[in-house]
Amino acid sequence: MKINGSHYRSIWLADDKRRVQIIDQTRLPHEFVIANLETLEDACLAIKDMLVRGAPLIGATAAYGVCLGLADGVTDSHLSYIAKTLKAQRPTAVNLAWAVDQLENQLLEYPEAERLEIAYQEAARICEEDVQTNENIGLHGLELIKDIWQRKGAKDPVQILTHCNAGWLATVDWGTALAPVFKADEAGIPVHVWVDETRPRNQGASLTAWELSAQSIDHHLITDNSGGHLMQRGMIDICIVGTDRTTYTGDVCNKIGTYLKALAAFDNNVPFYVCLPGSTIDWEISNGLEGIPIEERSADEVLWVRGKRPDGTVDKVKIVTDKTPAANPAFDVTPARLITGLITERGISPASSEGLYQLYPEKNNS
């Protein structure tokens, strides 16, 4: 996607083709800072502290994290250490383990002397594949948006609600939930996006709104509690969100608050779609509520809010007294029954094992 006319991806290799560069997402929207990742520890911290975030980008960063780790040793045991260390950084996004496992399994097939080079090639391949995958998600989602627009008489903008950030910053490029929005904009279909601010870290406010402004796409930031009200008044045509892990039965784990939006959508007959690459599907877990580990993050993310002061300095402020503790579950699970469809790179499927197996027959072992 473009920032001030220049095309950026969310992760790329530096000129030396060894160091990895990312956009530090903790500094957006007020500061645009590129960070260098030079070691395995850098990659781990970038994932844990959310300089990079969003399931597909976490996977891509982990893939390059393996490359950085191999600079310190290429033996089987060191590779296993690298894989274990990376996988421990965040528990919910399944793309992390997916990317690391792919690299580890492949590298074990190669002589040690070749592993570093192969790892860089494989990480680059994962990134390229992610871009293509998300563009395809965008094209499938575009058909839904086009359909709504035509049903509305091809005049008024299609009203879309999204939660958290599943734009290009959450992936290598294009995004998942926002890919159909970017494609619709490209196709000249007017869209307007209601952006949930997405407390506590405000990825909607600081990332999604920033991405939409950069592409000059109409949007309004709303508080996390506004969606139900807007749906009751017919002001939302479709909800589109991303996911960090979706079970093969169609239960969707996504940023905390997604479930409440799905409930409101269900009650108001607003279609609720989830965009995801195949790499976000967990083919082992059948019950999302029971099986998906939910990351519990620091209470400080709830207690403190970061923003820009009138004098232009960026700072954080505490919103309660020191006597109030906070809990911070980072994700929730929306049961398949509340989901209208899953938009994947291979097409749109009902949120069910039958639907997903039809799109991914190679995963059906029964």
Give least dist CB 165 to ligand MRU, A.
Answer: 6
Establish if 53 lies at the interface with ligand MRU (CB under 6 A): yes
Of 255, 334, 335, 340, the one binding ligand MRU (CB under 6 A) is 255
| Binds ligand MRU by CB under 6 A, chosen from 20, 62, 86, 166 | 166
Position of tokens 């008489």? Answer: 153
Task: Please name the residue ranges forming H helices in the chain.
Answer: 40-48, 55-70, 76-87, 94-107, 112-151, 179-186, 203, 209-214, 227-232, 258-267, 288-291, 300-303, 353-359
Q: Which stretch binds ligand MRU (CB under 6 A): 28-36, 51-59, 224-232, 301-309?
A: 51-59
Within 225-254, the residues that bind ligand MRU by CB under 6 A are 241-244, 254
244 is catalytic: yes
Q: Which of 130, 196, 244, 251 is catalytic?
A: 244
Please, are residues 60 and 93 in contact by the beta-carbon 8 Å criterion? no
Q: Rule CB under 6 A: is residue 199 a binding residue for ligand MRU?
A: no
Buried b (16+ CB within 10 A) or exposed e, 109-143: eeeeeebbebbbebbbebbebbbebbbbbbbbbbe
Instruction: Out of 43, 94, 170, 179, point to the residue binding ligand MRU (CB under 6 A).
Output: 170
Residue 330 binds to ligand MRU (criterion: CB under 6 A): yes
Question: Which residue is nearest to ligand MRU, using beta carbons?
Answer: 242
* 22 contributes a contact to ligand MRU by CB under 6 A: no
Tokens, residue 154: 């091809």
Handedness of CA 33, 36, 42, 43 (dihedral sign): positive
* Residues labelled catalytic: 244
Under the rule (CB under 6 A), what is the footprint of ligand MRU?
53-56, 164-166, 170, 176-177, 203, 241-244, 254-255, 330
